[in-house]
Amino acid sequence: MRLPFIKMHGLGNDFVILDGREIDLPSLDTAQIRALADRHRGIGFDQLIVLRPSDEADLAMRIHNADGGEVEACGNATRAVAVLHGQPASIATAGGTLRVRPGENMAEAAMGRARFDWQDIPLAYAMDTREMPLGWDMLERPSAVNVGNPHIVFFVDDARAVPLETLGPEIETDPLFPERINVNVAQILSRKAIRLRVWERGAGLTLACGTGACATATVAYRQGLVDAEVEVTLPGGTLTIRHDEEGGIHMAGPASEAFRGTFELDDYS
């Protein structure tokens, strides 16, 4: 079966989008997703995004990491889908329904509210998630937050000096996190600017993580380290994260289409 796909990215965090808004799509299994994600043997992507019609929203988006696992949220893909859809919309995801507003190669998204209870992250056992009495090598006393998906945030003096390629997978798979976790190392540059690097659960080091930016800005704002609106700069570029008075998180930043193509699903089975 030959399937059309759209390659898009947000700040270099890249996606293959299967657009089932108007055509029937088959369900892909974990092995097929992993094979397609392979940057040598497949098309290559950080996340596979599957769009379908929705009864309760304008469209539905399902998100799979490069390792094949299905996840609840992806900030950069949410903006990419907004650009593809081309008009303000509600998008149903496993983490809740999000509202988006596209612009020219950019989009704004209302990402909902953060949750901080240990059961909501989730953690394996009770702990104060604001300052966790834990450390992994040079990374200590993190905060945990769920912004649709689970994140741990470490504030460090120099985000670029952290060996995230070794510490990231160790923390992601720590038994403290029964659903694994996205790992953020953040450097506060000013009350309006954060530098961030992210080891993504199921995808590894990416050029940018939209939910990581939301999670980090939210934890920093809650701790009084930054203003309600802050610029978060990742290796792939900058997102603006704003907190409204009801605790809602709003994200704005670039997203664009790279190319379109087709692939033979049987080649990946």
Binding interface with ligand LBFN2T5F (CB under 6 A): 13, 46-47, 65, 71, 74-76, 149, 182, 200-203, 206, 209-211
Instruction: Measure the CA–CA gap between 44 and 37, rounded to whole angstroms.
Output: 4
- Beta strands 59-65; 70-71: pairing state: antiparallel
How many residues would you count in the chain?
269
Report phi then psi at 228, rounded to 5. -65, -30
Closer residue to ligand LBFN2T5F, CB minimum distance, 182 or 233: 182
Closer residue to ligand LBFN2T5F, CB minimum distance, 178 or 190: 178
65 belongs to an annotated ligand binding site: yes
> How does 48-87 read in b/e, with b if 16+ C-beta sit within 10 Å?
bbbbbebeebbbbbbbbbbebbebbbbbbbbbbbbbbbee
Active site residues: 74, 209
Q: Tell the smallest beta-carbon distance from residue 79 to ligand LBFN2T5F (Å).
A: 8
187 belongs to an annotated ligand binding site: no
Report phi then psi at 220, rounded to 5. -65, -40
Q: Tell the smallest beta-carbon distance from residue 267 to ligand LBFN2T5F (Å).
A: 25
Closer residue to ligand LBFN2T5F, CB minimum distance, 162 or 181: 181
Binding-site members are 13, 47, 65, 75-76, 149, 182, 200-201, 210-211
Binding-site members for substrate are 13, 47, 65, 75-76, 149, 182, 200-201, 210-211
